[in-house]
Amino acid sequence: MSSAAIANVSSFPIYFLLRRLQSLGGIVFGGYIAVHLLVNATLIQGHNPDVYQQQVDKIHSLPFLLGIELTAIYLPLLIHTLYGIYVIVNGKPNVEHYGYVKNWFYVLQRITGIALILFIFFHIGGMYGWFGETLKFDHHAATASAARHLKASWLLWLVVYPLGILFATFHMANGFYTAAISWGLTVSKKAQDRWGYLCLGLFAFSFLCGMLAIVGAFTKTNHLLPSIGEKDAAHVRS
């Protein structure tokens, strides 16, 4: 195929549409991550009343929860990840030639994307109980089961979660920065710099929320662990 033909194939509207969908998926899921970490940071707050349990109860009392989760969380993540893999496989990093910070961020965006596939799979699978009862999240006993999950191994609270949160918050904030360019919202250098500072602030705040969640879960009592049933869950809340 000639180079002109290849250029025509890659500029076909379907690629433009997929690229926009991938970006939109990242923005929607990024918004969810920011809220998710903020909610989880309430683990650092008091146990009587149990503030984290109250937030989880509010979420679980929302109507159409499954529909909201599928359309606003899982579908955007799936589209973003699938096309993200395509972008990574076909991209050509140029860090060796231009050692600019932005080029390094370009590479880090891809490295954290791959790491996040593993982290998110472990996190979702663990919370849904695919890997056993100890890692399973019970929304009736939110605080105790979050503590049980995190304390299942030192590897989780010391390595997996701090790194997973670092990667997710970096990828989200750097993604918000590049997304504004993709959608033509920050055209001038000045606008990009201003938006860059806001994204840096969002990264620092979200990362702090994630760390507070780890410390909060770690310091919560787990005397009812490892197995929490409905009866115990009621006891935890009382």
Query: Is 164 near ligand HEM (CB under 6 A)?
Result: no
Size of the site for ligand HEM (CB under 6 A): 26
Shortest Cβ 84–ligand HEM spacing (Å):
3
Contact call for residues 216 and 41 (beta carbons, < 8 A): yes
Among 68, 117, 187, 191, binds ligand HEM (CB under 6 A): 117
**Closest to ligand HEM by CB, 159 or 185:** 185
Q: How far from each other are the two terminal CA atoms of the chain, in whole angstroms?
A: 70
Give 40: exposed, middle or buried? Use CB within 10 Å, 0-12, 13-18, 19+. Answer: buried
26 binds ligand HEM (CB under 6 A): yes
Q: What distance in Å separates the CA atoms of residue 157 and residue 146, rounded to the nearest whole number?
A: 11
23 binds ligand HEM (CB under 6 A): yes
Write the interaction track for ligand HEM spanning residues 59-88; mark x where CB under 6 A is met and - where it is not: ---------------------xx--xx-xx
- 142 by Cβ neighbours in 10 Å (0-12 / 13-18 / 19+) ranks as buried
The residue whose two tokens read 């949160």 is 165
Residue 27 sits in the site that holds ligand HEM (CB under 6 A): yes
Window 31-60: contact mask with ligand HEM (x via CB under 6 A): --x---------------------------
Angle between helices 189-219 and 161-182 (to 10 degrees): 160
Residue 224 as a binder of ligand HEM (CB under 6 A): the answer is no
- 50 pairs with which residues across the strands? 47
Q: Which residue is nearest to ligand HEM (CB)?
A: 175
Name the site residues for ligand HEM (rule: CB under 6 A).
23, 26-27, 29-30, 33, 80-81, 84-85, 87-88, 109-110, 113-114, 116-117, 168, 171-172, 175-176, 178-179, 182
